């Protein structure tokens, strides 16, 4: 049963083919067997999971269960969980036990979900390979010498290796979609503001957005039904109504207008990746969609603008880690400045310090206009590009990543090489749009992800477009062998 999709588990629970205690035990056993090697979980919450599973079964016997009651999931370790460590993959928060739940966690708890644990991630979500985690790299279940992608690498690997039915994740520049593509699963980053950021450890506040990692689009719809929607506690959370994201999954795609950005099918894309993506698009034509080339002329500047905006916001957000109120504090500080500096130098890893430095530089006197203001202007141009494109097409498709998963340790010499991993995903965050990556084939036995980008708040349409592909193909059903 643990190989089943989240939707199948939901139906099995409803039909009483299986109890929540049974399926939860099965996942915990599999985690016990696999996690020492995969390193997908930082914390496994066995006791909590069993208590929640028993409560879920009781609720069902009383006739008050919902679609999510009793389903075992995992949370990326940057969602605050009351009484359970929230490390954000950092030594700085290794001892941090939040006294409250993130809104996302609270909503899953209220829906009756079972929490199996907290998943590994790049430190403070800064990375594209899950190698910057204080708790060590996560292995890709398809080939354990490779990275699973990042920053939500633990959530991606946990879903791919069937250690949970689904997982929460976050995406600031590609951190859901890229690991979903490397790990052969479905990952959706909703529109900025669709899901509350309250209780998420902040990285870059104008870009961070919570989403899901699942086997299928139908599973993602079930999770989004729980997570999405207005939250008074997050003033950037949208007041636009949510929908039942499962309602339109089966809508026919006749007449769907697909745009292919010529910039995403040019240099830097391998021939076999291009073939794989064009085959997937061909599948959509069979389903009645029309395809045309479009242009996103400023997309080549998205990584540059992002590496001003995200580090600038991060340098401000991470100034709170000062050793005073919570988290790590250095031993025997001689004075306040010594405490700040040594706490931060010992508590943060190399990549986090690097981004704080870049952000501090970009915001410092004399450089603000040349960097931060310039980046915000580029951000406008990028958003305008998408708006023009969406006058002609309904969705935009292309590769999620320029290639398949790479070897652990192979891309650490120059940070810029790693930054360019997110070349196809970053513009979507700058524009605030929803994007999804779905399994679309294999190259040398490694999964390939197709990225689909939609208009603002078009999550239901994206999931419909993804689901119809998954009805016609079986790439998303492939699972790694142990």
Partner 1 sequence: MPMELANVENIAHLARLHLSDEEKKEAADSMSNILKLIDQMQSVNTDNIEPLAHAFDNVQRLRYDAVTETNTRDELQKIAPEAEEGLFLVPKVIE
Q: Does 329 bind partner 1 (CB under 8 A)?
A: yes
Is there a contact between 403 and 379 (Cβ–Cβ < 8 Å)? no
C-beta of 346: minimal distance to partner 1 in Å? 9
Q: Is 97 in the site for partner 1 (CB under 8 A)?
A: yes
Residue 271 and residue 246 in contact, taking contact as beta carbons nearer than 8 Å: no
Q: Which two tokens stand for residue 62?
A: 């009383």
Question: Between 59 and 383, whose beta carbon lies closer to partner 1?
Answer: 383
Q: Does the annotation count 477 as an active-site position?
A: no
Cα–Cα distance, 92 to 321 (Å, whole number):
8
For partner 1, the binding residues in 438-477 under the rule CB under 8 A are 456
String of DSSP letters for 311-354: HHHHHHHGGG-SSSSSS---SS-SSHHHHHHHHHHHHS-HHHHH
> Which residue in the set 301, 389, 443, 479 belongs to the binding site for partner 1 (CB under 8 A)?
301
Shorter beta-carbon distance to partner 1: residue 82 or 248 = 82
Terminal CA-CA length for the chain: 16
Give bridge partners of residue 209 from the DSSP assignment: 171
Closest listed residue to residue 419, CA positions, set 92, 136, 151: 151
Rule CB under 8 A: is residue 300 a binding residue for partner 1?
yes
Which residues on neighbouring strands pair with residue 291, listed in sequence order?
A: 258
Residue 24 three-state SS: helix
**Least Å from the CB of residue 281 to partner 1:** 27
Q: Which residue of 281, 333, 442, 473 would you call a contact of partner 1, by CB under 8 A?
A: 333
54 lines the binding site for partner 1 (CB under 8 A) = no
CB atoms under 10 Å from CB of 244, counted, come to 11
Residue 411 touching partner 1 (CB under 8 A):
no
Compare residues 284 and 372 and give the one whose CB is closer to partner 1: 372
Query: By CB under 8 A, is residue 213 in contact with partner 1?
Result: no
Distance between CA 76 and CA 119 in Å, rounded? 5
Which pairs from 29-37 meet CB under 8 Å and 24+ separation?
30/2, 30/161, 30/162, 30/163, 31/116, 31/117, 31/163, 34/161, 34/163, 34/482, 35/163, 37/139, 37/144
* Footprint (CB under 8 A) of partner 1, residues 124-183: none
Residue 206 is a binding residue for partner 1 (CB under 8 A): yes
Q: 136: which residues sit within 8 A by CB, 6+ positions away?
A: 39, 120
Nearest to 310 by CA among 387, 180, 402, 209: 209
Active site annotation includes 302: no
**Placement of tokens 């391998």 in the chain:** 270
Catalytic residue among 129, 152, 155, 175: 175
> How does 206-216 read in b/e, with b if 16+ C-beta sit within 10 Å?
bbbbbbbbbbb
**In the complex, what is the shortest distance from the CB of residue 360 to partner 1, in angstroms, rounded to a whole number?**
4
Per-residue string for binding with partner 1, 335-374, x by CB under 8 A?
Answer: xxxxxxxx-xx--x-x--xx-xxx-xxx-x------x-xx
151 is catalytic: yes
Binding residue for partner 1, selected from 83, 270, 285, 324, defined by CB under 8 A = 324
CB closer to partner 1, 267 vs 337: 337
Least distance between partner 1 and beta carbon 236 (Å): 8
Identify which of residues 83 and 252 has a Cβ nearer to partner 1 in the complex.
83
Using rule CB under 8 A, residue 481 touches partner 1: no
Give the nearest distance from C-beta 457 to partner 1 in angstroms. Answer: 10
Can you list the alpha helix ranges (DSSP code H) found in 250-402? 271-286, 302-317, 336-347, 350-363, 374-389
User: Whole-angstrom Cα distance, residue 391 to residue 470?
Assistant: 27
Q: At 388, is the secondary structure helix, strand, or coil?
A: helix
Contact between 320 and partner 1 by CB under 8 A: the answer reads: no
Element (H, E) at 259: strand 257-261
Site string for partner 1, 76-95 (x = CB under 8 A): -------------------x
Q: Does 203 bind partner 1 (CB under 8 A)?
A: no
Q: Which of 173, 210, 212, 177 is nearest to 195 (CA)?
A: 210
Q: Which of 76, 118, 189, 468 is catalytic?
A: 76
Q: Mask: binding to partner 1, 1-40, rule CB under 8 A, as x and -?
A: ----------------------------------------
* Closer residue to partner 1 in complex, CB, 235/481: 235
By CB under 8 A, residue 376 contacts partner 1: yes
With CB under 8 A as the contact rule, the residue among 108, 307, 424, 469 that binds partner 1 is 307
Is residue 414 close enough to count as binding partner 1 by CB under 8 A?
A: yes
Of the candidate spans 179-187, 301-309, 442-450, 467-475, the one that interacts with partner 1 by CB under 8 A turns out to be 301-309
Q: Which is nearer to partner 1, 326 or 442 (CB)?
A: 326
Q: Considering the rule CB under 8 A, would residue 295 count as an interface residue with partner 1?
A: no
Given phi > 0 = left and psi -120 to 50 = alpha, else beta, which region is 323?
Answer: left
- Residue span binding partner 1 (CB under 8 A) among the ranges 28-36, 139-147, 213-221, 430-438: 430-438
Q: How many residues bind partner 1 (CB under 8 A)?
A: 74
Among 14, 91, 290, 326, binds partner 1 (CB under 8 A): 326
- Among residues 19, 128, 151, 401, which one is catalytic? 151
Question: 155 with 202: CB under 8 angstroms?
Answer: no
Active site residues: 76, 151, 175
């Amino acid at each position: 049963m643990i190989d089943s999709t989240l939707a199948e588990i939901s139906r099995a629970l409803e039909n009483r083919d299986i109890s929540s205690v049974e399926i939860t035990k099965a996942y915990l056993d599999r985690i016990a067997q696999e996690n020492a090697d995969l390193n997908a979980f930082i914390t496994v919450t066995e006791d909590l999971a069993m208590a929640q599973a028993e409560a879920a079964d009781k609720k069902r016997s009383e006739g008050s269960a919902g679609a999510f009651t009793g389903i075992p999931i995992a949370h990326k370790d940057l969602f605050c969980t009351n009484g359970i460590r929230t490390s954000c993959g950092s030594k700085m928060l290794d001892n941090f036990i939040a006294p409250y739940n993130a809104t996302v966690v609270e909503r899953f708890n209220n829906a009756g979900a079972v929490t199996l644990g907290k998943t590994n991630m790049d430190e403070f979500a800064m990375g594209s390979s899950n190698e910057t985690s204080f708790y060590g790299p996560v292995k890709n279940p398809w080939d354990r010498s490779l990275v699973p992608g990042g920053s939500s690498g633990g959530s991606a690997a946990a879903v791919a290796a069937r250690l949970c039915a689904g997982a929460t994740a976050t995406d600031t520049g590609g951190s859901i979609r890229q690991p979903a593509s490397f790990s052969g699963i479905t990952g959706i980053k909703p529109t900025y503001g669709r899901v509350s950021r309250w209780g998420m450890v902040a990285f870059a506040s104008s870009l961070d957005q919570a989403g899901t990692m699942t086997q299928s689009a139908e599973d993602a719809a079930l999770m989004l039904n729980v997570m999405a929607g207005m939250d008074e506690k997050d003033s950037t959370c949208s007041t636009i109504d949510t929908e039942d994201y499962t309602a339109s999954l089966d809508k026919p795609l006749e007449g769907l207008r697909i745009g292919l950005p010529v910039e995403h099918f040019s240099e830097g894309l391998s021939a076999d990746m291009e073939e794989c993506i064009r085959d997937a698009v061909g599948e959509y034509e069979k389903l009645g969609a029309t395809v045309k080339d479009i242009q996103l002329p400023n997309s080549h500047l998205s990584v540059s603008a992002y590496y001003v905006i995200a580090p600038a916001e991060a340098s401000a957000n991470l100034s709170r880690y000062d050793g005073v109120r919570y988290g790590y504090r250095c031993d025997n500080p001689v004075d306040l400045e010594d405490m700040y500096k040594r706490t931060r130098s010992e508590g943060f890893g190399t990549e986090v310090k690097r981004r704080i430095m870049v952000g501090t530089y970009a915001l410092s006197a004399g450089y603000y206009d040349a960097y931060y203001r310039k980046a915000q202007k580029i951000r406008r141009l990028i958003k305008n590009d998408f708006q023009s494109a969406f006058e002609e097409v309904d969705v935009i498709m292309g590769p999620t990543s320029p290639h398949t998963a790479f070897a652990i340790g192979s891309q650490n010499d120059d940070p810029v090489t790693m930054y360019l991993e997110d070349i196809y995903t970053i513009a979507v965050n700058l524009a605030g749009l929803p994007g999804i990556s779905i399994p679309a084939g294999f190259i040398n036995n490694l999964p390939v992800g197709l990225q689909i980008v939609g208009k603002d708040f078009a999550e239901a349409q994206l999931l419909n477009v993804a689901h119809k592909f998954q009805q016609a193909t079986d790439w998303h059903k492939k699972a790694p062998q142990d």
